[in-house]
């Protein structure tokens, strides 16, 4: 029987594990993204590749050592390097002499036949439609937990209680089997979170935009969401895993576009330039329109679409009217520098909002 | 003479600064020491010197810490306020020059730009990935040319014909500089070329897309270098102000913030005797309970555990009740 593995990306492992188990495979979940995964990835990857690639390599090697023999990864197209990941990783693993099969699922516009050929390796003789429906529901629920965590962190009465429940959820998720059990775990976690005591503090709202992997995966973003939560900020970001399923797997089939992107990218970036530059820009404007206090833009070093987004955001700073901070992440081992910048950013927001309340603001 | 004083401590990567201000914000004492990788010892030494000089006549009403070692320092002295260096620098600059619009700050390991309007910070940036535009880099190059860093500015300012050096990245700059040396350029021309390259790098990396309005303040350890000031003036085409206490502005800012914070409150300061007689220690270990492999650091005073941090799951840190301590409603 195949032993399937996949790269980490935030809570993706919860959903992917349940899905593959339901399809009757044995699943090897690599250890969470950590320093040693990054170390391995750094050694094997091209020098100027972005951080997600290095982490993927680390995940694969660690999973292979744990016995995995099949790797599933999504492909893609467009100018972002992600589309090339699967092919490149395949070659690197081959050069290293690992005997693994790599299943790269390309999007539908690369031809139905190719898609079905790859997909059929995974989905064999099963009631696919019902499984996919349940997985989709699970993905929505898991993201619901993350949203709840973001909401509760700045408001919790006893510091750290939210994270205790959340970490427990991530740990238990490795132990349960299949979609049903996973859903039950999600439900119990929800109950635990709902029963926390909260304090009604004045909470600042920060919107996070940026490159998909680095904002979803907490290791690569240096735990920025948690740090902000502890500093008393509620965090909302534009991408969750279920939204990624929506925008990349479901909308393209029905030829629909994310309504917010459609509305706010008009006149600024009407065409796709690859990656999530358009999403970054539109959601930055959207968050500002929703009266968020600040916007954080996170992306990995050398990420082309996001660098363009950064320049565009600089150009429309006055239109946005909300402070924006850009955070570039790569192999950074200590979070002290990030904390300093975030703290200064919140001070800026604080000082600024006092002026706004007194009606004295003049924005540059 | 028992007056009220406020202590500001700025522990940076290269320097440790301690200032003492009175209740009007007047600077009574300022110390600029080299950290040399031993922040706690240097801090203890500085406080011991202060105590010897003033003895019991010194009544500390508030203490603040800033800089990259601020959390450590706050545990050592018992600080009333712990703030980042950006806010502290802006505070001090506004105190001395109320209508300041731009602050250029270059320290040992990092450089910052702070834009101010109507006495509030409206934008800031800090170098993220490269240290080509900082004091340590200048220090190292001066050492290679065998010129004491204190003489750097004097020598460089004599230059009539500065050499053009690529300043995009510290590695490129260094090799470029060596090539220029081998061509036989004069020392002062190379040094001033280096200053210009650093200033260009600063403006290209940090000030990109921002408009620098006058008055512009130049502070941080590198502001001691008159050639750097000249380089910035040449590139920006305007006058630049170097404030009197340019190298301890962070410490002054945090002392002023401590003064504001402790209004009507009792300070958490542990007292000079307690700090100087104490033995502080930091011990770290890697936790292997899950695959996060966090590096947990413990801070000990006289052998007893004071604080722990670095773990993601908060198994070791944070037994304190944050909200009760920090709630504005209580």
- A174–chain B Cβ distance below 8 A for any pair: no
pLDDT of B1 strictly over 60: no
**What would the pLDDT profile of A165-202 be if each residue is shown by its tens digit?**
898 899 889 999 989 999 999 999 999 999 998 887 78
- A341–chain B Cβ distance below 8 A for any pair: yes
Confidence of residue A306 (pLDDT cuts 50, 70, 90): very high
- A318–chain B Cβ distance below 8 A for any pair: no
pLDDT of A362 strictly over 60: no
The helices-and-strands tally (H runs, E runs) of chain B is 11, 13
Query: Residue ranges of the alpha helices (H) in chain A?
Result: 12-22, 35-44, 51-65, 82-96, 112-122, 128-152, 161-172, 178-194, 212-216, 224-230, 241-245, 251-254, 259-264, 277-289, 304-315, 317-320, 336-357
Confidence of residue A358 (pLDDT cuts 50, 70, 90): low
pLDDT of A112 strictly over 80: no
**What would the pLDDT profile of B107-151 be if each residue is shown by its tens digit?**
888 889 999 988 889 889 888 667 667 888 888 888 888 888 888
- A172–chain B Cβ distance below 8 A for any pair: no
- A232 interaction partners in chain B (CB closer than 8 Å): 326
pLDDT at A147 (0 to 100): 93
pLDDT of A75 strictly over 50: yes
Residue in B211, B291, B318 closest to A32 by CB: B291
Q: How far is B293 from chain A (nearest CA, A)?
A: 7
Q: Do strands A26-27 and A101-105 pair parallel, antiparallel, or not at all (unpaired)?
A: unpaired
Query: What percent of chain B lies above the pLDDT cut of 70?
Result: 93
Confidence of residue B270 (pLDDT cuts 50, 70, 90): confident
Confidence of residue A47 (pLDDT cuts 50, 70, 90): confident
- B288–chain A Cβ distance below 8 A for any pair: no
pLDDT of A364 strictly over 50: no
Residue in A157, A226, A336 closest to B323 by CB: A157
Contact B121 A351 (CB under 8 A): yes
Copy the structure tokens of residue B26. Answer: 């007047």
Mean pLDDT of chain A: 86
B215: cis peptide before it, omega within 30°? yes
- Cα A347 from Cα A325, distance rounded (Å): 13
Q: What pTM, to 2 d.p., does this model score?
A: 0.88
The DSSP secondary structure of B157-202, one letter per residue, reads HT-SSPPP---SSHHHHHHHHHHHHHTT--HHHHHHHHHHHHHHHH
Better-scored residue on pLDDT, A36 or B133: A36
- A311 interaction partners in chain B (CB closer than 8 Å): 209
Contact A344 B86 (CB under 8 A): yes
- Say whether B16 sits in a helix, a strand or coil: strand
Chain Cα centroid distance, residue B188? 28
In chain B, the residue whose alpha carbon lies closest to the alpha carbon of A355 is B120
Look at residues B231, B154, B236 and name the one whose alpha carbon lies nearest to residue B198: B231
Copy the structure tokens of residue B292. Answer: 């996060």
Query: Residue ranges of the alpha helices (H) in A66-127?
Result: 82-96, 112-122
Phi/psi zone of residue A125: left (φ > 0), alpha (ψ -120 to 50 degrees), beta? left
pLDDT at A109 (0 to 100): 61
- B91–chain A Cβ distance below 8 A for any pair: no
- B91 interaction partners in chain A (CB closer than 8 Å): none
Residue in A163, A230, A352 closest to B120 by CB: A352
Quick one: three-class SS letters along B265-328?
A: CCCCCCCHHHHHCCCEEEEEEECCCCCCCCEEEEEEECCEEEEEECCCCCCCCCCCCHHHHHCC
Q: Do A215 and A298 form a contact (C-beta atoms < 8 A)?
A: yes
**What would the pLDDT profile of B159-215 be if each residue is shown by its tens digit?**
999 999 887 777 888 888 888 889 999 988 999 999 999 899 888 888 887 888 889
- Separation in Å, CA B51 to CA A184, A236, B20, B56, B302: 63, 49, 12, 8, 21
pLDDT of A363 strictly over 60: no
pLDDT at A110 (0 to 100): 62
- A201–chain B Cβ distance below 8 A for any pair: yes
Copy the structure tokens of residue A225. Answer: 């969401």
Contact A347 B87 (CB under 8 A): yes
- B322 interaction partners in chain A (CB closer than 8 Å): 159-160, 230
- Give the burial class of A6: count Cβ atoms within 10 A of its Cβ; 0-12 exposed, 13-18 middle, 19 or more buried: buried
- Say whether A33 sits in a helix, a strand or coil: coil
- B321–chain A Cβ distance below 8 A for any pair: yes
Residue in B124, B128, B322 closest to A344 by CB: B124
pLDDT of B74 strictly over 60: yes
Q: Between the CA atoms of A146, A148, A150 and A156, what dihedral angle is there, to the nearest 10 degrees? A: -130
Contact B128 A328 (CB under 8 A): yes
Residue with tokens 């003479």: B1
Confidence of residue B81 (pLDDT cuts 50, 70, 90): very high
The arithmetic mean of pLDDT across residues A24-32, rounded, is 89
Contact A230 B322 (CB under 8 A): yes
- Straight-line distance from the first to the last Cα atom of chain B, in angstroms, rounded to the nearest whole number: 36
- B87 interaction partners in chain A (CB closer than 8 Å): 343-344, 347
- Cα B157 from Cα A326, distance rounded (Å): 36
Residue in B87, B122, B293 closest to A364 by CB: B122
Copy the structure tokens of residue A50. Answer: 């972005």
**What would the pLDDT profile of A315-337 be if each residue is shown by its tens digit?**
888 888 899 999 988 887 777 88
**What would the pLDDT profile of B209-263 be if each residue is shown by its tens digit?**
788 888 999 999 899 999 999 999 999 999 999 999 999 999 999 999 999 988 8
- Cα B7 from Cα B54, distance rounded (Å): 13
- A231–chain B Cβ distance below 8 A for any pair: no
pLDDT at B251 (0 to 100): 94
In chain A, the residue whose alpha carbon lies closest to the alpha carbon of B116 is A364
The arithmetic mean of pLDDT across residues B37-47, rounded, is 90
Contact A223 B87 (CB under 8 A): no
- Say whether A269 sits in a helix, a strand or coil: coil
pLDDT of B316 strictly over 50: yes
Q: Do B15 and B221 form a contact (C-beta atoms < 8 A)?
A: yes
Better-scored residue on pLDDT, B97 or A265: B97
pLDDT at A297 (0 to 100): 94
How many other C-beta atoms are found inside a 10 Å radius of the C-beta of residue A302? 15
pLDDT at B2 (0 to 100): 58
- Cα A358 from Cα A364, distance rounded (Å): 17
Contact B322 A167 (CB under 8 A): no
Contact B117 A35 (CB under 8 A): no
- A253–chain B Cβ distance below 8 A for any pair: no
Contact A201 B323 (CB under 8 A): yes
pLDDT at B265 (0 to 100): 84
Q: Report ipTM (2 d.p.).
A: 0.87
């Amino acid at each position: 029987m195949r032993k399937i593995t996949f790269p980490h990306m935030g809570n993706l492992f919860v959903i992917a594990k349940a899905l593959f188990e339901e399809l009757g495979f044995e699943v090897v979940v690599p250890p969470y993204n950590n320093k040693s995964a990054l170390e391995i990835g750094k050694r094997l990857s091209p020098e100027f590749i972005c951080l997600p690639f290095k982490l993927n390599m680390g995940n694969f090697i660690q999973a292979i050592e744990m016995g995995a023999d099949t790797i599933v990864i999504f492909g893609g197209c467009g100018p972002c390097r992600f589309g090339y990941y699967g092919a490149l990783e395949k070659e690197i693993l081959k050069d290293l002499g690992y005997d693994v099969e790599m299943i790269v699922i390309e999007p539908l516009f690369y031809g139905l036949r190719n898609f079905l050929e790859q997909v059929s390796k995974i989905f064999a003789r099963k009631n696919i439609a019902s499984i996919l429906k349940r997985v989709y529901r699970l993905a929505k629920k898991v993201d619901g937990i993350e949203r709840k965590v973001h909401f509760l962190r700045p408001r919790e009465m006893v510091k750290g209680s939210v994270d205790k429940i959340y970490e427990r959820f991530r740990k238990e998720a490795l132990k349960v089997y299949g979609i049903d059990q996973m859903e039950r775990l999600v439900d119990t976690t929800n109950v635990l979170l709902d029963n926390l005591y909260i304090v009604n503090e004045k909470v600042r709202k920060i919107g996070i935009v940026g490159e998909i992997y680095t904002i979803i995966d907490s290791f690569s973003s240096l735990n920025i969401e948690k740090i902000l939560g502890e500093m008393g900020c509620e965090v909302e970001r534009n991408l969750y895993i279920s939204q990624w399923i929506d925008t990349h797997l479901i909308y393209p089939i029905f030829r629909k576009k994310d309504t917010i992107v459609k509305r706010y990218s008009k006149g600024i970036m009407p065409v796709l330039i690859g990656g999530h530059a358009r999403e970054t820009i539109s959601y930055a404007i959207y968050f500002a329109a929703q009266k968020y206090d600040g916007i954080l833009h996170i992306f990995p070093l050398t990420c082309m679409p996001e660098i363009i987004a950064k320049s565009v955001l600089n150009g429309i700073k006055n239109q946005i009217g909300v402070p924006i901070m850009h955070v570039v992440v790569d192999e950074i081992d200590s979070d002290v520098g990030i904390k300093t910048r975030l703290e200064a950013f919140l001070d800026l927001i604080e000082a600024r909002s006092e002026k706004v309340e007194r009606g004295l603001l003049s924005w540059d | 003479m028992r007056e009220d004083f406020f202590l500001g401590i700025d522990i940076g990567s290269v320097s440790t600064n301690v200032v003492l201000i009175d209740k009007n914000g007047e600077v009574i004492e300022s110390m600029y020491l080299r950290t040399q990788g031993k922040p706690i010892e240097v801090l203890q030494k500085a406080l011991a010197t202060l105590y010897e000089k003033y003895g019991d006549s010194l009544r500390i009403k508030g203490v603040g810490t800033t800089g990259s070692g601020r959390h450590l320092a706050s545990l050592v002295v018992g600080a009333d306020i712990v703030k980042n260096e950006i806010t502290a620098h802006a505070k001090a600059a506004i105190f001395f020059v109320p209508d300041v619009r731009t602050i250029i700050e270059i320290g040992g390991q990092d450089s910052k730009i702070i834009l101010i309007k109507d006495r509030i910070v409206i934008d800031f940036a800090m170098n993220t990935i490269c240290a080509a535009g900082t004091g340590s880099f200048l220090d190292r190059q001066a050492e290679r040319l065998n010129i004491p860093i204190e003489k750097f500015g004097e020598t460089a300012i004599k230059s009539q014909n500065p050499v053009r050096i690529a300043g995009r990245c510290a590695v490129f700059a260094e090799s470029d500089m060596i090539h220029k040396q081998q061509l036989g350029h004069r020392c002062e021309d190379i040094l001033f070329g280096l200053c210009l390259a650093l200033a260009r790098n600063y403006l290209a990396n940090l000030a990109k897309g921002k408009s620098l309005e006058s008055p512009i303040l130049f502070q941080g350890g590198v502001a001691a270098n008159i050639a750097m000031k000249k380089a910035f003036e040449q590139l920006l085409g305007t006058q630049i102000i170097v404030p009197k206490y340019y190298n301890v502005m962070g410490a002054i800012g945090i002392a002023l913030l401590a003064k504001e914070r402790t209004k009507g409150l009792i300070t958490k300061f542990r007292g000079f005797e307690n700090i100087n007689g104490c033995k502080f220690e930091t011990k770290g270990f890697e936790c292997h309970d899950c695959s996060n492999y966090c590096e947990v650091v413990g801070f000990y005073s006289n052998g007893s555990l004071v604080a722990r941090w670095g773990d993601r799951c908060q198994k070791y840190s944070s037994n304190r009740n944050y909200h009760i301590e920090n709630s504005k409603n209580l």
